[in-house]
């Protein structure tokens, strides 16, 4: 699963967790040698999780299975040396499936019905990936990393929930040995018929895989058993699904009869990978940008790749920083540049787009990784496995990989996400649900735009002047030598936060001065700003500087949640 932020209801403690005397590991030559054992073990364990997910995400995206492995290998090696993010794992992510599949579909992808058309669509999508990577490089040079702070939290979660729904809807037919094409809502209407006509043998593997994934998740949440907690669910699925596929002779095309109905199974139900990695390298078709018929679509997908991929990557990198036990801070501009370089490089050889991936990154942290070299080792393990054991990969049933993606999609759109958002405030649920429905009914960019517009409308209903939504009203008192007092007025909302943060940081953090921000005269403080103030307090604390937030005593919170939006009551004279 790809979830770039901690849930709104479960704020991550940003207090440094290391002792003063404990040295902070760094991804330099000394760190490579000193923490080799820790990083090697963590990289190996992350590899076990990454392999099936890379294959499944790639197939779900309309790319060859090996494309996702290319992405993880190139991303892990290049970004290790280009980014200063110590614990993020770069690779293909479920959140990009919708964009990549939409790209190849717009270029004529047939889902295997016409291999020539599918290859052409694949190569055109690679060209889009190259150009989108170049755009991300430009973002890095232009210091666009701060844009991760613009998008409202509920909108981002609504987008991810919509992606989760789309993944589930598109992968459930594959779990039961069926196929479906069309828009998500069309497939959803057809889903009961597809499930009723499931291929029993394929469905058996898929359902058993789902039981393992959901069952292990339940046990991990209910038990304190350390062994169960460390079991990588994707690996357990493979250990069960591969023998089941062998027992059912999926490697041999054949038919069987059950309850008077004939079914077909065979190699098409297994993952196909090349036995020669170099022979799998595929180059982009830049003709997609030369053709007036395909150019508009290509440019639109470049925008989607660059914007959504960059947003997900930035949010994931920030979330991993908050989970890092050593509280190291990623230079988001540098990380975005690194992701752009890696995306450009991997698209040249046939790979999927990559982002900083939160689930594999958390597994990296949980397995005691110390430096960025753990990510490099996970990529080297992947390279060795696909180069030396392609036959074992070919024995993986596709329904098992589809089950992993259904589980990932469920976690993105689980009922707990709705409950978490509702606990923050009813207005957050409105924004979340509106974004989700809008993405399902239109596309990602339009859906996000509708979600943001909904947020603006809610702010206007609460009396926020339009100008103050974009320009923060701040007055600075710098009469004290070691302290800055900031008086805020009008509104503190997601859309003026970038300017708000920049001015506060310039006047205090960059000059080593303590800071007090007074919100007494602010009419509305939204949930996104409440969360970002919490993050900023942690950033100040890591530098040994105090950030005090005062003046909220008389504001009315929209819920009992500590990060809820709050509004100052109108004073009647």
481 has a pLDDT exceeding 50:
yes
Range 496-524 average pLDDT:
94
What integer pLDDT is reported at residue 573 of this predicted model? Answer: 41
- 3-state percent helix, strand, coil for the chain, nearest multiple of 5: 60, 10, 30
- Classify 374 as helix, strand or coil: helix
What integer pLDDT is reported at residue 65 of this predicted model? Answer: 94
Range 87-95 average pLDDT:
93
CA 360 to chain centre: 10
What integer pLDDT is reported at residue 572 of this predicted model? Answer: 45
Residue with tokens 């589930």: 168
Range 418-438 average pLDDT:
95
What integer pLDDT is reported at residue 83 of this predicted model? Answer: 94
CA distance 424 to 444: 24
The better pLDDT of the pair 188, 205 is held by 205
- Classify 353 as helix, strand or coil: coil
pLDDT band, very low/low/confident/very high, at 570 (cuts 50, 70, 90): low
Residue 433's CB is within 10 A of a number of other CB atoms, namely 18
- Helix and strand tally (H, E) in the chain? 22, 10
Find the helix or strand (DSSP H, E) in which 150 lies: none
23 has a pLDDT exceeding 80:
no
What integer pLDDT is reported at residue 571 of this predicted model? Answer: 53
Q: What are the tens digits of pLDDT across the range 281-291?
A: 999 999 999 99
CA distance 54 to 463: 47
CB 162 within 8 A of CB 141: no
CA distance 311 to 306: 8
What pTM did the predictor assign?
A: 0.87
Quote the percentage of the chain above a pLDDT of 70.
Answer: 95
Per the prediction, the chain carries an average pLDDT of 90
Could you tell me where the DSSP H helices lie in 357-397?
A: 358-366, 373-388, 390-394
Which residues lie below 8 Å from residue 348, measured CB to CB, with a gap of 6+?
126, 130, 283, 284
With CA atoms as reference, report the closest residue to 212 among 250, 239, 181. Answer: 239
pLDDT band, very low/low/confident/very high, at 443 (cuts 50, 70, 90): confident
**Domain 467-567, CATH:** 3.30.750.24
Residues present in the chain in total: 573
- Lowest mean per-residue pLDDT among 19-33, 171-185, 251-265, 493-507: 19-33
Range 9-30 average pLDDT:
57
Q: What are the tens digits of pLDDT across the range 381-399?
A: 999 999 988 989 999 999 9
CB 288 within 8 A of CB 107: yes
DSSP labels, 500-551: HHHHHHHHTGGGT-EEEEEEEEEEEE-HHHHHHHHHHHHHHHHTT--EEEE-
DSSP code, position 96: G
What integer pLDDT is reported at residue 329 of this predicted model? Answer: 87
Range 210-227 average pLDDT:
89
12 has a pLDDT exceeding 60:
no
Q: What are the tens digits of pLDDT across the range 120-142?
A: 999 999 999 999 999 999 999 99
Residue 535: exposure state from Cβ atoms within 10 A (0-12, 13-18, ≥19)? middle
What integer pLDDT is reported at residue 180 of this predicted model? Answer: 82
DSSP code, position 459: H
Report the relative pairing of strands 89-91 and 261-265 from DSSP bridges: unpaired
What integer pLDDT is reported at residue 21 of this predicted model? Answer: 44
Quote the tokens at residue 420: 């978490």
What integer pLDDT is reported at residue 1 of this predicted model? Answer: 41
What integer pLDDT is reported at residue 22 of this predicted model? Answer: 58
Q: What are the tens digits of pLDDT across the range 328-344?
A: 889 999 999 999 999 99
CA distance 240 to 509: 53
Range 442-468 average pLDDT:
92
pLDDT band, very low/low/confident/very high, at 7 (cuts 50, 70, 90): very low
Locate the domains of the chain by residue range.
Answer: 41-412, 425-461, 467-567
């Amino acid at each position: 699963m790809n979830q770039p932020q901690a849930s709104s209801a479960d704020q991550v403690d940003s207090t440094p967790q290391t002792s003063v005397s404990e040295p902070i590991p760094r991804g330099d030559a000394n760190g490579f040698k000193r923490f080799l054992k820790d990083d090697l073990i963590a990289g190996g364990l992350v590899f076990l999780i990454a392999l099936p997910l890379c294959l499944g995400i790639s197939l779900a995206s309309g790319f060859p299975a090996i494309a996702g492995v290319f992405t993880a290998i190139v991303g892990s090696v290049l970004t290790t040396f280009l980014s200063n993010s110590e614990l993020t794992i770069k690779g293909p992510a479920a959140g990009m499936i919708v964009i990549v599949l939409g790209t190849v579909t717009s270029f004529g992808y047939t889902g295997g019905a016409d291999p020539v058309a599918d290859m052409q669509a694949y190569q055109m999508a690679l060209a889009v990936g190259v150009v989108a990577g170049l755009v991300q490089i430009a973002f890095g040079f232009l210091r666009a990393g701060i844009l991760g702070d613009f998008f409202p939290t509920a909108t981002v979660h609504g987008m991810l929930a919509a992606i989760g729904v789309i993944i589930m809807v598109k992968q459930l037919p594959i779990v039961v040995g069926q196929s479906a094409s069309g828009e998500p809502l069309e497939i959803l209407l057809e889903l009961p018929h597809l499930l009723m006509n499931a291929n029993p043998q394929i469905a058996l593997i898929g359902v058993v895989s789902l039981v393992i994934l959901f069952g292990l998740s339940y046990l991990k949440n209910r038990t304190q058993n350390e062994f169960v907690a460390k079991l990588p669910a994707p690996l357990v699925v493979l250990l069960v699904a591969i023998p089941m596929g062998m027992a059912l002779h999926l490697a041999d095309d054949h038919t069987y009869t059950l309850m008077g109905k004939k079914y077909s199974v065979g190699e098409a139900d297994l993952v196909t990978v090349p036995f020669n990695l170099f022979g799998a390298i595929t180059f982009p078709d830049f003709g997609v940008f030369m053709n007036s018929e395909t150019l508009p679509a290509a440019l639109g997908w470049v925008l989607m790749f660059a914007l959504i991929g960059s947003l997900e990557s930035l949010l994931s990198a920030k979330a991993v920083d908050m989970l890092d036990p050593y509280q190291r801070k990623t230079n988001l501009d540098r990380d975005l540049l690194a992701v752009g370089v890696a995306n450009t490089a991997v698209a040249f050889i046939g790979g999927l787009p990559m982002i900083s991936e939160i689930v594999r990154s958390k597994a990296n942290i949980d397995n005691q990784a110390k430096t960025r070299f753990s990510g490099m080792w996970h990529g080297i393990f992947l390279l060795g496995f696909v180069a030396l054991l392609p036959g074992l990969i070919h024995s993986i049933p596709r329904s098992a990989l589809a089950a992993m993606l259904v589980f990932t999609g469920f976690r993105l759109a689980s009922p707990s996400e709705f409950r978490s958002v509702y606990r923050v405030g009813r207005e957050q649920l409105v924004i979340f649900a509106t974004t989700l429905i809008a993405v399902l009914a239109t596309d990602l960019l339009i859906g996000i735009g509708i979600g943001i517009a909904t947020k603006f409308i809610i702010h206007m209903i609460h009396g926020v002047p339009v100008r103050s939504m974009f320009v923060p009203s701040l007055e600075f008192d710098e009469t004290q030598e070691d302290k800055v007092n900031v008086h805020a007025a009008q509104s503190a909302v997601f859309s003026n936060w970038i300017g708000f943060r920049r001015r506060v940081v310039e006047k205090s953090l960059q000059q080593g001065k303590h800071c007090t921000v007074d919100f007494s005269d602010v009419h509305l403080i939204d949930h996104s700003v409440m969360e970002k103030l919490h993050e900023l307090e942690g950033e100040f604390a890591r530098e040994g500087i105090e950030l005090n937030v005062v003046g909220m005593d008389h504001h009315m919170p929209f819920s009992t949640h500590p990060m809820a939006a709050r509004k100052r009551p109108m004073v009647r004279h």
